[in-house]
């Protein structure tokens, strides 16, 4: 093995029978499509690499079989290895090997019952709760949607095979159908030719909401209702940023917001139309055999359906009337009638609550059979998704708000130059503006394109409230929030669209949410929120709403201060905010900006929620879901159900389970010391070392990653080339590709070693969920990294002295971190106590190493000036393949 891991204890690779079966089918496809010679070359490299990891053969270099590959064969080889790992992921997901640890609502209730907390307390909490997975378009999903779709079809066929079925519903043999899908995968282009547009990202999000959330969530609520013993309110509802997140994305504007909202409404109402139509076929109840309440008869009479065949079928006639109103609603919202026209005309529903009320009237008339089954699920869907499908957040950078407000004030000739004012003067001026109904903007004035664009977004949001209801947009997030004036500026902007109106209390149709991202921002967050609540008008709107949200940024805090200081700063900020909110008498709602990789807040959501400080969850939590994580968690109904159940159960436990406060203050003091040392080491390497930026850009494929067509947003905030201006996603992604995973561990070894008290660290791991989760995620990152392969990437650095110095520091700290971690856990090798995850990672290692080394060779040729387009394609394909194998790499 070329790495520095624990290969000597590796278990047998490929023990999962599904992996062997799907791998055999892939081999057959390659042989039949491209010939025996290519198949044998790929198989030779595969078998040699696997043997080396099993310890059958020895050697520090990948088998020379790689050197014999032509460029065309290289592309085929990379594609083949990518597809094998994709199929391996599928097989392991089916067995639960790679799903994150979690639990079910029933298990959480049983655990609470052992603490003397009954289901009634849980149901009461959930009636006022909000749990929201929020889909974002952050570009970490390298796979095309076509690849994911084929993968999901294979998963469905494998379920048929599990049941012993020999044929599909269409009459195809199951194995033939499986082989056909794998052949389609083999012949499907893996790379996007064009950069994604916002409209593409909207459609991708809609596909998950339509195919997974819409059918799965109502079924989950039925399961949760049985566990609780009564019907809870719709506490788990999806959200989205796609079409409303403008921070650093010049392609998001009013039109993309309208598109996202319109497509979501079209999807939701279209789904309801289908369900109502199906119910009309099912509810054949005759008034001759059942009592029909007056409420149902009134709806039925409104239909005007006088057909003799339905004269004694009031439920069908009522559903005809409802379908007519819903079709009119669809036409009003979408701008065209639905494909299945209504047989009777109707007035559009003013709000989803009116539609739901008529459905509930029918459900009440039917009794038990109306509260369950398709009608019960439809009522739940309307309650959960409304006409908007998923709540869409707005987000923009505070610097933009400052420029827009300054321009509005200047053109309106209100006050002195806003940009020149200090914080106190800004707050005073902004509060004065918020106290008047007079708008600042004039239709006759001339404004910059930026100001016109921002105002257009807000007017589009006001239109959305009128068209889809206020749940369509509830939140406006401020990136780089660093002061109270940053929050007030957005309120002033909202006033321009009628979304803020002064009064007692003021009316705030959209909640303004600060996003605290850097280490400095997180430290300042409690003071900013305390000052915010000290303003009477802000205290009033918060009290009227019942809660206030604060968003915490994982990615930028990590890039700013390293893994350990990031997670500790987030923990400290959460605890301090809980105290500030308690003082203000306001319920805290934290929005966690987690990414896929551990360096950006990745890891088990279940464990992360349980690790939150006491008093910071209280039944309300929102979490971003992005990139490859969306497909992993919500790509199939089964995975979605498991992950939604885990999120709900973890929130229950974090909110209600008693916490022991013993020893915590001692643990906090220890963590502060460890973090301080880790922070200094990380900052010294990344920001304090001469030449580090050059080292990073030459060692990793950051330039090549920037060329991937995986998102509509640019990789950097500007063209400076500074690490400070690089977005966190490509920063983490490039280190993952080079198998260093630096953002997920660097500095931790310094901190743990300097602290020194192993017994104290062991006690912290045993008694403190936060510290255990931190170390578990660290262990996973170390297991996926490989300093032997990373050394080959370091060979790309042109300055030999710089390379040796910096890579030596990185390698030494990796070893130090690993040794400290093993000393704390008492394990002899990484992941020894997590055999399923250990086996999952080890399965992939023989497939990733050849991909890494081919990528390095192609990068050398590309950087030397070879202009064969197959080289660039090979690099991008290798990036795709390595990311697929590593799974949570972005």
Q: What is the pLDDT of residues 522-557, one digit of tens each?
A: 999 999 999 999 999 999 999 999 999 999 988 888
User: 552-598: per-residue pLDDT in tens?
Assistant: 988 888 888 999 999 999 999 999 999 999 999 999 999 998 865 55
Provide the 10 A C-beta neighbour count for residue 599.
Answer: 32
The structure tokens listed for 43 are: 């198989």
State the pLDDT at residue 654.
95
pLDDT reported for residue 809:
97
- In this structure, the strands spanning 500-501 and 507-508 are antiparallel
pLDDT at 14 over 80: no
Cα separation of 195 and 199, whole Å?
Answer: 11
The pLDDT assigned to 269 comes to 98
Contact 620, 130 (CB under 8 A): yes
Residue 5 DSSP label: S
Tokens 């009003």, residue located: 332
Task: Give the chain's radius of gyration (CA, Å).
Answer: 29
For the chain, how far is it from start to end, CA to CA, in angstroms?
25
Q: Give tens-digit pLDDT for 597-625.
A: 555 556 788 888 999 999 999 999 999 99
Spatial contact of 549 and 590, defined as CB atoms under 8 Å apart: yes
Burial of 452 (0-12, 13-18, 19+ CB in 10 A): middle
Is the confidence at residue 43, as pLDDT, over 90?
Answer: no
Q: How far is CA 871 from CA 46, 854, 855, in A?
A: 22, 11, 9
Chain-centroid distance of CA 800 in Å reads 40
What residues have CB less than 8 Å from 850, skipping those under 6 apart?
45, 49, 62, 66, 77, 81
For 37, other C-beta atoms within 10 Å of its C-beta total 10
pLDDT score of 1 more than 80: no
Residue 397, phi then psi, degrees to nearest 5: -80, 140
Residue 225: which residues within 8 A CB-CB, separation 6 or more? 231, 232
Which residue is it, tokens 């800004």? 426
Task: Tokens for 742, please give them.
Answer: 């630096």
* DSSP assignment letter at 212: I
- Determine the distance from the C-alpha atom of residue 675 to the mean position of all C-alpha atoms in its chain, rounded to a whole number: 27
- Is 60 exceeded by the pLDDT of residue 11? no
Q: SS3 helix, strand, coil % of the chain, rounded to 5?
A: 65, 5, 30
Q: Residue 878: which of 192, 191, 195, 49 has the closest Cα? A: 191
Q: Using the Cα atoms of residue 707, residue 710, residue 716 and residue 722 in order, give the sign of their dihedral.
A: negative
* pLDDT at position 2: 35
- At residue 280, the 3 state secondary structure works out as helix
Which one has a higher pLDDT value, 90 or 409?
A: 409
For residue 572, cis peptide bond before it (omega within 30 degrees of 0): no
pLDDT of residue 400: 97
**Tokens matching residue 4:** 């520095």
Locate the DSSP E strands across 236-313. 239-240
Tokens of 195: 């950069």
Structure tokens at 186: 């083999």
C-alpha 814/C-alpha 94 separation (Å) is 33
- The candidate with the shortest Cα–Cα distance to 825, out of 765, 780, 749, is 765
For 756, left (φ over 0), alpha (ψ -120 to 50), or beta? left
Residue-by-residue DSSP string for 150-172: HHHHHHHHHHHHHTT-SB-TTS-
How far CA 761 is from CA of 677, 746, 773, 821, in Å, comes to 15, 18, 13, 10
Mean of the pLDDT values across residues 415-424?
A: 95
Share of the chain above pLDDT 70, in %: 91
| CATH 1.20.1440.90 placement within the chain | 254-390
The answer to whether the CB of 381 falls within 8 A of the CB of 271 is: yes
Q: Which of 248, 253, 246, 260 lies closest to 452, judged by CA?
A: 253
Q: State the average pLDDT over residues 779-792.
A: 94
- Cβ–Cβ < 8 Å for 398, 423: no
Task: Supply the pLDDT for residue 4.
Answer: 36
The model's pTM is: 0.90
CA 877/CA 191 separation, integer angstroms = 7
Parallel, antiparallel, or unpaired: how do β-strands 620-626 and 130-136 relate?
parallel
**Tokens encoding 194:** 């064009």
H helix runs in 367-420, sequence order? 368-371, 373-385, 398-412
**Region 661-665 average pLDDT:** 74
What pLDDT sits at residue 96?
A: 57
Sign of the torsion angle spanned by Cα atoms 366, 369, 373, 376: positive
Contact 225, 217 (CB under 8 A): no
Strand partners, 240: 135, 392
pLDDT of residue 7: 35
Mean pLDDT across 97-125: 86
The pLDDT tens digits for 484-504 are 999 999 999 999 999 999 998
Which residues have a catalytic role annotated?
138, 559
Cβ(876)–Cβ(708) under 8 Å? yes
**Cβ 23 vs Cβ 35: under 8 Å:** no
Q: What DSSP string runs through 314-350?
A: HHHHHHHHHHHHHHHHHHHHHSS--SS--SS--PPPS
For residue 852, what is the DSSP state? H
Residue 550: the pLDDT is 98
CB–CB of 525/516 below 8 Å? yes
DSSP state of 225: H
Structure tokens at 285: 């109840």
* 254: Cβ contacts below 8 Å, ≥ 6 apart: 453, 456, 457, 459, 460
Q: Averaged over 159-184, what is the pLDDT?
A: 94
Q: What is the pLDDT of residues 262-280, one digit of tens each?
A: 999 999 999 999 999 999 9
As a whole number of angstroms, the distance between CA 45 and CA 414 comes to 72
Alpha carbons within 13 A on the beta-carbon side of 70: 4
CA 824/CA 861 separation, integer angstroms: 44
Residues near 517 by beta carbon (within 8 Å), at least 6 away in sequence:
479, 480, 553, 555, 556, 557, 560, 593
Q: What is the mean predicted confidence (pLDDT) over 91-107?
A: 70
Q: Which residues lie below 8 Å from residue 623, measured CB to CB, with a gap of 6+?
A: 132, 133, 134, 591, 592, 594, 605, 647
Looking at every residue in the chain, the average pLDDT score rounds to 89
What's residue 93's pLDDT? 75
pLDDT in tens, 225-247: 999 999 999 999 999 999 999 99
**Confidence class for position 141, pLDDT limits 50, 70, 90:** low
Structurally, what CATH architecture does the domain formed by 254-390 represent? Answer: Up-down Bundle (1.20)
> Please, which residues have CB within 8 angstroms of residue 338's CB and are 6 or more apart in sequence?
269, 270, 273, 327, 330, 331
Q: What token pair was written down for 778?
A: 């660290």
According to DSSP, the residues that pair with 620 across neighbouring strands are 130
| Burial grade of 646 (CB within 10 A; 0-12, 13-18, 19 or more) | buried
């Amino acid at each position: 093995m070329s790495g520095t891991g624990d290969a000597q204890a590796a278990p047998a690779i490929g023990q999962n029978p599904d992996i062997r079966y799907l791998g055999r089918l892939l081999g057959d496809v390659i042989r039949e499509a491209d010939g025996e010679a290519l198949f044998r070359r790929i198989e030779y490299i595969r078998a040699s690499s696997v043997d080396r990891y099993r310890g059958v053969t020895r050697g520090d270099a990948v088998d020379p079989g790689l050197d014999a590959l032509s460029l065309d064969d290289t592309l085929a080889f990379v594609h083949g290895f990518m597809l094998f790992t994709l199929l391996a992921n599928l097989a392991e997901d089916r067995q639960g090997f790679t799903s994150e640890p979690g639990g079910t609502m029933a298990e959480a209730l049983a655990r609470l019952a052992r603490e003397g907390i009954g289901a009634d307390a849980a149901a009461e909490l959930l009636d006022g709760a909000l749990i929201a997975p929020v889909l974002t378009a952050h570009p970490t999903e390298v796979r095309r949607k076509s690849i994911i779709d084929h993968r999901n079809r294979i998963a469905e066929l494998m379920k048929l095979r599990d049941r012993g079925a020999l044929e599909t519903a269409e009459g195809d043999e199951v194995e033939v159908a499986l082989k056909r899908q794998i052949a389609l995968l083999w012949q499907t282009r893996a790379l996007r030719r064009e950069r994604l547009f916002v409209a593409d990202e909207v459609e991708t999000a809609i596909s998950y909401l339509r195919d997974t959330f819409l059918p799965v969530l109502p079924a989950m609520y039925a399961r949760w209702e049985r566990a609780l013993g009564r019907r809870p309110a719709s506490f788990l509802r999806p959200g989205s940023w796609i079409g409303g997140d403008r921070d650093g994305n010049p392609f998001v504007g009013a039109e993309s917001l309208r598109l996202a909202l319109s497509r979501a409404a079209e999807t939701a109402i279209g789904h309801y139309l289908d369900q109502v139509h199906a119910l009309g076929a099912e509810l054949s109840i005759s008034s001759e055999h059942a009592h029909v309440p007056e409420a149902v008869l009134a709806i039925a009479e409104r239909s005007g359906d006088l057909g003799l065949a339905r004269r004694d079928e009031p439920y069908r006639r009522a559903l005809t009337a409802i379908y007519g109103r819903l079709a009119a609603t669809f036409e009003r919202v979408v701008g065209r009638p639905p494909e299945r026209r209504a047989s009777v005309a109707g007035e559009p529903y003013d709000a989803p609550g009116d539609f739901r009320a008529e459905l509930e009237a029918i459900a009440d008339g039917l009794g038990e059979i109306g509260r369950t089954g398709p009608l019960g699920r439809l009522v739940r869907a309307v309650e959960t998704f409304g006409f908007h499908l998923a709540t869409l957040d707005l987000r923009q950078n505070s610097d933009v708000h400052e420029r827009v407000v300054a321009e509005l004030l200047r053109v309106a000739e209100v006050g002195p130059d806003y940009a020149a004012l200090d914080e106190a003067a800004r707050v005073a001026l902004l509060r004065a503006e918020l106290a008047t109904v007079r708008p600042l903007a004039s239709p006759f004035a001339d404004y910059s394109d930026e100001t016109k664009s921002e105002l257009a977004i807000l007017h589009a949001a006001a239109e959305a409230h009128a068209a889809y209801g206020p749940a369509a947009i509830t939140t406006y997030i401020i990136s780089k929030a660093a002061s109270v004036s940053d929050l007030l500026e957005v309120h002033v902007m909202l006033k321009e669209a009628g979304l803020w109106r002064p009064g007692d209390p003021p009316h705030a149709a959209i909640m303004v949410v600060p996003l605290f991202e850097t280490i400095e921002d997180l430290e300042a967050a409690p003071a900013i929120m305390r000052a915010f609540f000290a303003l009477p008008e802000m205290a009033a709107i918060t009290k009227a709403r019942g809660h206030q949200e604060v968003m915490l940024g994982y990615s930028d805090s990590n890039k700013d201060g390293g893994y350990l200081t990031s997670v500790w700063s987030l923990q400290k900020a959460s605890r301090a905010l809980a105290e500030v909110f308690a003082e203000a008498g306001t319920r805290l709602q934290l929005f966690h900006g987690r990414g896929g990789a551990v360096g950006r807040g990745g890891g088990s959501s279940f464990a992360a929620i349980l690790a939150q400080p006491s008093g910071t969850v209280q039944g309300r939590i929102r979490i971003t879901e992005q990139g490859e994580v969306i497909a992993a968690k919500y790509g199939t109904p089964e995975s979605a159900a498991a992950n939604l159940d885990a999120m709900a159960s973890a929130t229950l436990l974090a909110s209600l389970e008693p916490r022991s406060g013993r020893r915590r203050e001692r643990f906090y003091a220890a963590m502060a010391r460890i973090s301080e040392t880790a922070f200094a080491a990380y900052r010294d390497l990344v920001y304090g070392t001469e030449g580090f930026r050059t080292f990073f850009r030459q060692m990793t494929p950051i330039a090549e990653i920037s060329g991937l067509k995986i998102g509509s947003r640019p990789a950097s905030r500007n063209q400076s080339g500074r690490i400070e201006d690089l977005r966190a996603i490509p920063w983490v992604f490039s280190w993952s590709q080079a198998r260093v995973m630096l953002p997920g561990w660097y500095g931790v070894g310094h901190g743990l070693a300097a602290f020194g008290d192993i017994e104290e660290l062991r006690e912290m791991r045993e008694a403190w969920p936060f510290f255990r989760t931190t170390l578990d995620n660290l262990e996973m990152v170390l297991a996926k990294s490989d300093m032997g392969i990373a050394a080959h990437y370091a060979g790309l650095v042109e300055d030999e002295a710089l390379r040796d110095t910096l890579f030596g520091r990185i390698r030494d700290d990796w070893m130090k971190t690993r040794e400290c971690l093993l000393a704390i856990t008492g394990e002899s090798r990484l992941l020894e106590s997590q055999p399923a995850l250990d086996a999952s990672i080890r399965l992939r290692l023989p497939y990733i190493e050849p991909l890494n080394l081919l990528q390095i060779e192609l990068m050398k040729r590309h950087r030397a000036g070879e202009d064969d387009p197959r080289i660039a394609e090979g690099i991008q394909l290798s990036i795709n393949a390595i990311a697929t194998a590593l799974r949570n790499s972005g």
